[in-house]
Amino acid sequence: MREILGRRRRLLSRRNGGRPEMLGAALTFATEWQWPVLPGVAPDPQGRAGCACPDPDCSVPGAHPFDPGLLAATTDERMVRWWWSNRPTAPVVLATGGPAPCAISLPAPAAARALAALDLAGLRLGPVIASPTRWSLLVRPYSLEQLGELLYSKDFVPGSLRFHGEGGYLALPPSETGLGQIRWERAPLPGSARPWVPDVEAVVDAVIDALTSGTGVSTPEA
């Protein structure tokens, strides 16, 4: 059985053109940074801007767990190697919360403005992940209660903000999804044992201020 599986892995790797960078990235996240990961469902195999899952209206095509489910996310090196040996082009999906960072995401144009405002304000940011449509700012893990209290204290919270906390997920670079490539807009510092991320309070305050002042919310964005 082991020989058959090994042969199958090599055939799959050759058939998919190999993607050693995906396995390498998954191993870095899981074993060096101790972020639980699992393979995403992948884009539509027909090459359309869709998802390989059964949902024709999938809102995050190719960038979510399917089989295995989110609860299978792990930092175990052997499991990570097995997954990406069998599915070398699969997106790397992070299970947010717990031992891993959480995230705040917003539409890409608004995110670019917000990051510029945060830089001007001198706020230190951690890694920022960019998809063609949304950017995600990584933050320290937070509880649902903590987030609820934080948002309750705000006069207004833009509806375009999304929160990826405990039980959530996020595709990590250099994954290829149905909407395009996932990349680092702000990459972790080279040689980081584990990337530094800020507290959620500081980021939420600054992002909401950036979105609700000046031209931040002058035009609605999905």
pLDDT digits (tens, 9 = 90+) for 8-42: 333 333 334 445 789 999 999 999 999 999 999 97
Q: Look at residue 3 in the predicted model and tell me its pLDDT.
A: 31
33: nearest Cα among 189, 185, 201, 204: 189
**Residue 27, Cβ neighbours under 10 Å: how many?**
18
**Residue 16, Cβ neighbours under 10 Å: how many?**
13
**Residue 172, CA distances (Å) to 16, 43, 154 in order:** 20, 14, 30
Report the percent of the chain where pLDDT is more than 70: 84
Which one is predicted more confidently, 3 or 78? 78
Which one is predicted more confidently, 13 or 65? 65
Alpha helices in the chain (DSSP H): 2-15, 20-27, 77-86, 108-120, 144-152, 200-212
Phi, psi of 75 (to 5 degrees): -110, 5
Which one is predicted more confidently, 208 or 72? 72
Confidence bin at 6 (pLDDT 50/70/90)? very low
The position carrying tokens 């959530």 is: 168
In single-letter form, the type of residue at position 215 comes to T
Q: How far is Cα 151 from Cα 220, in angstroms, rounded to an integer?
A: 20
Here the tokens at position 213 are 């002042």
